Amino acid sequence: VLTVSVVYAAVQFEQFYPIVVHLSQDKISLAIIYNFAFGLIVLMNKLLLRLFVGHLRDLEVEQLIDSGRGFVADTILFLVFYSPTINDREVSTVQLVRYVCLAICLKVFHLVAQIRVGHIFELGFTSFSSLVRLAGLIFLCGMLDMIGISTFYGLSSAHSSFYTWCLFEAVTMGLTALTTATKFIIHLVDMRLEHGWTSKTQFIFHVDLWGDVGQMTTYL
């Protein structure tokens, strides 16, 4: 469909600049381009997830969907009721779609890492390659969170509610990555000990508790 749209514009206008103007302003062409870009994002996410965590089990998919619903609902409520602005101006549709899609993709990676850490040791998927790939995913999420926090901290203000929302999401995802990394290390220590770590459950409980407290504090 995208090829047909480009060919139609090329036949109609012939020159490069009018073709670009038509594709960037025509609503049907924009819808086709956005749909194509969304498909590429989904495909890239699937490839990255397959690289880092492999195949997701049905239970993990269900947990991912359940956890993702809350994030999508919060995002929709923010967009509907708070009218995101940048320097007291409404955010353009292109910029809004770009950042929201990026936030959703990052949230999916964080949720997958969190869910997989909770299951990989219980199910016995403790091969060295699986652990390395999962550690790489957690590290990647943490690095992206740090980049997001450092980027949006200076941009957020009372006049830029959209950047403030981006900073908020980066902080909450950073807390999720930190909690996931801590639980991953606890599981590794438990696996390395000959008789296991008797206090593992207690430590994981405290990690989850302080992670929830940190996220609640961020919400406030």
Nearest to 147 by CA among 113, 170, 169, 165: 170
The Cα–Cα gap between 57 and 77 comes to 30
Q: Are 128 and 191 in contact (CB under 8 A)?
A: no
| pLDDT averages per 10-residue partition of the chain, 220 residues | 60 63 65 72 77 75 77 74 74 74 83 81 69 87 88 77 82 88 85 73 80 74
Q: Are 113 and 137 in contact (CB under 8 A)?
A: yes
* pLDDT the model gives residue 7: 62
- In sequence order, the β-bridge partners of residue 90 are 85
The Cα–Cα gap between 189 and 185 comes to 6
* pLDDT the model gives residue 217: 78
Look up the pTM and report it.
Answer: 0.74
The Cα–Cα gap between 32 and 149 comes to 33
